Structure 1
Amino acid sequence: MAAAVMDKDFKLVTPDHLVKAGGDVTLPCHLSPKTSAVAMEIRWFNGRHCIYLYKNGHVTEGEYYEGRVSVNTQELQRGDVSLRLRNIRWGDEGVYTCQVISGEHKEEGRVGLRCKSPVSLL
């Protein structure tokens, strides 16, 4: 019984600074201690909109983000639930929330994204 409780005793670790990017970016987020997230539900939000959902091995992408968001499902075994966002647009800037659910245990982490200017001023 204690082992089952330990499996659900995890936290989400995200950077404590804004991620700055242009083009493609990975929004880092992982479970601590390292725990397989394969059987967990993983949701990424931009504001109130769910842009990525991994549940029971199936992936659903938000309408505005179709074909642009992914989580490396091979890394889930190591607890890495980072979101890959391709072809960043100005509207993508903001705070992203990662939510991981395992049974009754739910953890959230936030990652801020700031878009770099595509034109250098130098």
Structure 2
Amino acid sequence: MPLSFNPLFLWIILEYSCLALLFHFGLSLYSFLSIVVDTASEDLPQVIGSLQPIVAPLGGDVILPCHVEPQLNVEEMTVEWWRVDIKLDTRDPQSDYRYVHRYHDKQHKEDMKKLMYAGRTEMFTDGLKHGNISLKISNVMCFDQGSYRCQIPQLERASVIKITVAPPERCGSPPQCSWRNVIKDAGKYKGRLFYVFIFCYCLIFFRFFIFICF
């Protein structure tokens, strides 16, 4: 007696095999791209800032250490310092474009500073040729407490440094960390791709489960 196969059964098996093959291919491609991207990132110069919060004396001066590693001359590049935890000032139409400090075209752009930092910040111009992009803030005030991002757009690299003003009892509690910025900066593209693969895997399992049960 010749064997007979249900066409629907063959179609389900074929579909399941194709989806499984596609899933494993996509997962392999994702792993390969992750290795390539991470390796390429390690080969590029990095912007390195302090991992520990910097304690700044109220009314004194503070230096936010930041440098490029390996050592690189950044005199021809743009260096930007800005606050990541301050909301835009609706009273200032150019608030979105103002920085704590900005170095561009071999000049320190005083006209692009936030008003609260006018005349209080400076960079070590002589150190730029050695990759030193540290920032000095004078006459530290309570509102200086928070997180600062140091970045070089040409390198697409940045580092975040936190300042804590002392004594803390005179400035109130420090601002809370913004998870919105953390999530935004952390692997947004690789994360989306990973979730797509998980969804495909769940879809394959669901269809196979429906076939077995019914």
2:107 is aligned with 1:55: no
Match of 1:101 among 153, 165, 169: 153
Q: Distance in 2 between matches of 1:54 and 1:26?
A: 16
Mapped to 2, the partners of 1:9 and 1:111 lie a distance apart of 21
Q: Which runs of 4+ in 1 moved over 4 A?
A: none
| Structure in which a larger fraction of residues adopt helix | 2
1:1-122 to 2 correspondences below 5 Å: 9-22=44-57, 23-47=60-84, 50-61=99-110, 62=113, 63-102=115-154, 105-117=155-167
| Aligned-residue CA RMSD (Å) | 1.8
What TM-score, normalized by structure 2, do the two folds share? 0.49
Alignment partners' CA distance in 2, 1:118 and 1:110: 21
Greater strand fraction, Structure 1 or Structure 2? 1
CA distance in 2, matches of 1:65, 1:14: 20
> Which ranges of structure 2 fall in alignment gaps of 5 or more residues?
1-42, 87-97, 170-214
Distance (whole Å) between structure 1 residues aligned to residue 131 and residue 153 of structure 2: 13
Give the paired residue count.
110
Identical residues among aligned pairs (%): 25
Greater C-alpha radius of gyration? 2
Higher relative contact order (CA closer than 8 Å, sequence separation 6+): 1
CA distance in 1, matches of 2:44, 2:74: 12
